[in-house]
Each structure stands twice: as C-alpha cells, then as structure tokens.
Amino acid sequence: MRRLTYENARGERIVFYLSPILIESLTGIGEVDADLQGQKSPYQDGETHLDVILQPRFIDLEGSILKTDLREMKAYRKHILKVCNPKLGLGKITLELDGDTKEIFGVLDGTPSFPERGRDVWQKFLITWKCPDPYWRDPQEVSRALRSYRGKFILPTTFPFELGISGDSTILYNGGDVDAPVTIDIQGPVTRPRVINKTTGQFVILNRSLSADEVLHINTNDQNKRVEIYRGAETIEKAIGYLDHDSDFWKLEPGDNEIQYIADAGNADAIVAIAWHNHYLGM
C-alpha cells in the first residue's frame, strides 16, 4: 500500500491513494542529496574528510484525478489547489508504505501543476514539496519522566540518615538512524536544574529557580530551537539567557543514552519530561 496524506497549517487535509486522487509516481522519499565537507592542506593529495551535510528533501508526486465528469474534475482541482497552498508554509506529510508509517514537514515548492489533458480522459497533476528538515520521523512521540530530587528525611528518625538523593537517571533508547532532537519540560519547584546526557557528555543547566507554577521548555531541534518559561498555558519569559554558557542543545544518539536529572533543591513534584521522535534517512 502507498498512501500519502497532506495536512496544511490550517488543518485541511487531502489523501492521495487510489480513487479518486491516484498516486502514479512518488519520488524523493528515499534519496536525498548530501554535501561532503572536506579540508585541503597545501601540497596534500586529495583532502581530509570533515563531515557530511544533508540537503533539504524534495518530494515529487505525480497523479491523476479519476473523474470524467467535468464538474467533479474541476471540484477536485480546486480542492487540491486549496489544500496545497504554498502561502500557508509548512504542512505535515504522512506516508504509509508497505505497512510502515512515517511523517515529515514540507512546504509546497510552487502551486500544483495541471497539464493540458489533450486526449487523456483523466486530469493529471504534479506536486512538489520541499522539506527543510530532510529526516522522516515516527508519528508517535516517545516520552519519559524523571525526578530531580527524592527526599528521604522523615521524622522521627535515627542517625545516621539521608537528607535526600538529588537526582534520577534512566536509559533512553533512540531507535532511529540519526541523532534525535528532544524537548525537555521541567516542572518546578526546583533550583538550578541540570539534565545531562552522560553518554555524550553534554548537558543543559538553568541558572534560575522555577516556582511550583512554572515550567521550563527547551527544544533542541535545529529548525526550532527554543528556551521558554511557561506559567499556565502562556509564555512568560524567553529563558535562553538563563542557560549556563557551557550548556548544549543536545540530542539522543542512535541506541542507548544514559540521561540524568539533578538539581540543587526541589521536591517530589519537581519532574522533567523528555520527549522525542525517532528520525530516519528514508522510507
């Protein structure tokens, strides 16, 4: 089965499948161009490899409107043009292929094209999306929660005693092909929270206390990096200036990642939620 659903920024959806809007050709779902980054020294044979940078993904869909009645054909043309409007910006592409489902975000690279029908009974069309982030991802978001502080001081008590254990750790598994950006939501009350990826050695530290009604939100996606503090459903403050200067917008490596959450002070209600989508090179 090969079915593609496009949902624009207004929530309007269109499904390309068999009838009445048939997919005839779909390219760009696997291949994506890459730039090889290298460095050359004087008198060096060849060059030294540095990195590989993937380019935006372009997805081309060719199809046909399987209607012979001119009024119905025109109605479907208008529907395609309305939903696939490049002025609306990024929309979500969901592809179901051979029992697998992945999604990606793309913007229309121009309006849909409808060639002259000539002797064709059906109306053909061509649609191209440009996906700035070239990676497909799982539709389901994975989420885990950790506590920054677990108190153990209970009265009456005997000596010696533990005042508390400052931190919690867990293993997060990234089942994708590449590093996965994360969203980190830290619920107060907590003082100077730190979330550490011990597998990579990277961390993020907030040099600020959060009250019980405040939530720190961090997004490490390269296309949408954010550090904000929320109270209720509203953003009350941009908080990137509170991050420790050595902090990293870290991601999950493919495979197991040991994550630790600690703080200088807090209570049992101070938790962090880490969420991510596994990312893939192709379908």
Q: Tell me the pLDDT tens digit for each residue of 54-63.
A: 999 999 999 9
| CA nearest to 105, candidates 63, 125, 61, 135 | 135
The radius of gyration of the chain from alpha carbons, rounded to an integer in Å, stands at 25
Same-domain pairing of 238 and 159: yes
* Cα(268)–Cα(93) distance, integer angstroms: 40
Based on the number of CB atoms within 10 Å of its own CB, is 66 exposed (0-12), middle (13-18) or buried (19 or more)? middle
Predicted confidence band of residue 155 (pLDDT cuts 50, 70, 90): very low
Same-domain pairing of 193 and 74: no
pLDDT score, position 154: 38
Q: Which residues pair with 91 in a beta bridge?
A: 106
| CA nearest to 134, candidates 173, 85, 177, 96 | 177
* Full DSSP string of 214-247: EEEEEE--TTS-EEEEEETTEEEEE-GGGB-TT-
How far the first Cα of the chain sits from its last, in Å, is: 13
Residue range of the domain that includes 39: 2-134
Q: pLDDT tens digits, residue range 17-51?
A: 988 999 999 999 998 888 888 898 998 888 998 88
| CA nearest to 63, candidates 115, 129, 137 | 115
Sequence length of the chain is 283
**Whether pLDDT at 214 is above 60:** yes
Q: pLDDT tens digits, residue range 70-88?
A: 999 999 999 999 999 999 9
Same-domain pairing of 92 and 12: yes
Contact 167, 151 (CB under 8 A): no
* Cα(103)–Cα(139) distance, integer angstroms: 6
At residue 40, φ and ψ (nearest 5 deg) are -125, 130
3-state helix, strand, coil in the chain (%, to 5): 5, 50, 40
pLDDT score, position 165: 42
Predicted model pTM: 0.83
pLDDT score, position 268: 63
* Cα(149)–Cα(272) distance, integer angstroms: 11
- CATH number of domain containing 249: 2.60.120.860
Same-domain pairing of 124 and 72: yes
pLDDT score, position 279: 96
- Say which residue the tokens 């907030």 belong to: 206
Same-domain pairing of 195 and 75: no
Same-domain pairing of 162 and 265: yes
* Cα(55)–Cα(103) distance, integer angstroms: 18
Domain's final residue, options 113, 134, 155: 134
Q: pLDDT tens digits, residue range 103-151?
A: 999 999 999 999 988 787 899 999 999 999 999 999 999 999 887 655 4
pLDDT score, position 63: 96
Same-domain pairing of 129 and 164: no
∠ CA 36-25-75, rounded to 5°: 125
pLDDT score, position 167: 63
Asked if residue 134 has a cis previous peptide bond (ω within 30° of 0), the answer is no
Same-domain pairing of 66 and 26: yes
Q: Which residues pair with 53 in a beta bridge?
A: 35
Same-domain pairing of 162 and 107: no
State how many domains the chain has: 2
**Whether pLDDT at 160 is above 50:** no
Same-domain pairing of 29 and 93: yes
Same-domain pairing of 127 and 16: yes
* pLDDT, average across residues 85-104: 96
Secondary element (H or E) of residue 67 = none
